[in-house]
Amino acid sequence: MISEKEAKKIKKKEMGIVTFTISVLWLSGLSIGRIAMLSGRSKGSIRGIVHRNLPTPREELTMEERQTALDHLKSVRCDEARLSDKYFVACELSQAQEAPKSGPSVLGSLASYMKPKPTKPAPPPMPDGRTREGRKEIQRRKQEARHQEKVAVEQQAAREMGGAVNRGLHGSALEYLHDIGTLSDPIERRVDQKVTGISSKERRKEAGRILRGYMDGCRVGGMSSVDFDRVGTGSNSRLAISAYRLQAIHAVGAIRDMMPDRDFQLIERVVDQDEFVWDTVPSSQARTFIYEAIRRALDVVAVFEEMMGRSAFATRWGFELPMVKVVDRDDARRMSNAAEDILRQAR
């Protein structure tokens, strides 16, 4: 049996023969296409060998210079006499660039040391479904096929997205967690797991967007256009708070009462301030705790918006949420109108 060291020597010797042969054929005047046909290698492989070993372009060499190089190669030839002597004679490039004629290789046994084309692997035999091992193999192949299909879909989506990621599509921390699958429950990340209804990551993403809308609504003020002819008197401005702002303020306060302060501060930084709070945490275990706290806080928002049942939340997280009073839009509108009436009477 040939040792590994001897095998490397043989391979190095064969590669030296290939490089020598292609260099001689190129200097003699043959084209890339003809050398590829005679040697059985690709055109790209021929170009790579030529560019690495012959840095000077052939067009810049005269016939005498090419003949001198061929004579030197013939004196130190290492092709085991496989090349005919006619290839050690420089030819006119115009004659050598003619289309190669189809036919048997003139190099004889040159294909014996050229790189063979890889053979296509044969498909594995079908497992026997009557045996336990066969049924396991069938199930494994089905799971592998589903996984490959999922990977293909993700790769196609990435190709269609192009450079949108670098242009800021993942600029929001909430959307980033959704896209990488962190908002999903661990059981839903399994390939063979079928999700019925809305998935956990979609529910949490929608809950985060609703919370972001509430936080933005707390900062909403009255909009007015610029009037350059108006003389300000300071007595006709509408000071009542809008109904939507009242509803947003109450919703944020109620959600804050349903979770610990640390969870609310964390979800506020992620949803409202778009901070990637986990980037500064070096420990992977600590980042796992942060992701779990984000998922728990978003589930609290989902319960407040009746997107998730309280019993489902208790089953998932192991504790009950406190009951809070919900102010709907009609109640907020009545409070806003009452405040406006009081301010109008005060003026």
Query: Once rounded to an integer, what is the mean pLDDT over residues 107-115?
Result: 48
The predicted-structure confidence for 149-174, as pLDDT tens digits, reads as follows: 999 988 887 776 654 454 444 568 88
- What is the rounded distance in angstroms from the CA atom of residue 174 to the CA atom of residue 186? 18
pLDDT at position 75:
80
pLDDT at position 293:
93
The residues, ordered by sequence, that sit 6+ positions from 164 with a Cβ below 8 Å of its Cβ are none
pLDDT at position 143:
92
Q: What share of the chain is helix, strand, coil (3-state, %, to 5)?
A: 60, 0, 40
In the numeric block, which tokens belong to residue 37?
């046909």
- What is the rounded distance in angstroms from the CA atom of residue 258 to the CA atom of residue 25? 81
Confidence of residue 335 (pLDDT cuts 50, 70, 90): confident
Rounded to the nearest angstrom, the gap between the alpha carbon of residue 121 and the centroid of all alpha carbons in its chain is: 29
pLDDT at 298 > cutoff 90: yes
pLDDT at 347 > cutoff 80: no
The residues, ordered by sequence, that sit 6+ positions from 74 with a Cβ below 8 Å of its Cβ are 88
C-alpha dist (Å) from residue 313 to 66, 186, 299, 317: 82, 16, 7, 6
Whether 16 and 78 have beta carbons less than 8 Å apart is answered as: yes
pLDDT at position 297:
94
pLDDT at position 230:
47
Identify the weakest region by mean pLDDT among 73-87, 158-172, 182-196, 298-312.
158-172
Burial class for 253, CB neighbours closer than 10 Å (0-12, 13-18, 19+) = middle
Confidence of residue 117 (pLDDT cuts 50, 70, 90): low
Query: Once rounded to an integer, what is the mean pLDDT over residues 129-138?
Result: 89
The per-residue DSSP string of 264-293 comes to HHHHHHHHTS---GGGG---HHHHHHHHHH
The predicted-structure confidence for 205-262, as pLDDT tens digits, reads as follows: 999 999 998 888 887 555 444 444 444 444 444 445 677 788 888 889 999 999 999 9
pLDDT at position 226:
45
- What is the rounded distance in angstroms from the CA atom of residue 234 to the CA atom of residue 326? 36
pLDDT at position 228:
45
pLDDT at position 74:
79
Indicate the domain borders of the chain.
Answer: 9-112, 156-220+240-347
pLDDT at position 203:
92
Whether 93 and 58 have beta carbons less than 8 Å apart is answered as: yes
pLDDT at position 211:
93
Can you point out the beta strands (E) in 185-235? none
The predicted-structure confidence for 31-54, as pLDDT tens digits, reads as follows: 888 888 877 778 888 888 887 777
Confidence of residue 103 (pLDDT cuts 50, 70, 90): very low
pLDDT at position 289:
92
The predicted-structure confidence for 5-23, as pLDDT tens digits, reads as follows: 565 555 555 557 778 888 8
pLDDT at 115 > cutoff 60: no
Q: Identity (one letter) of the amino acid at 177? A: L
| 51: three-class secondary structure by DSSP | helix
Whether 123 and 96 have beta carbons less than 8 Å apart is answered as: no
The residues, ordered by sequence, that sit 6+ positions from 300 with a Cβ below 8 Å of its Cβ are 255, 258, 259, 263, 313, 321
Check residue 166 and report its DSSP letter.
I
pLDDT at position 221:
56
pLDDT at position 241:
65
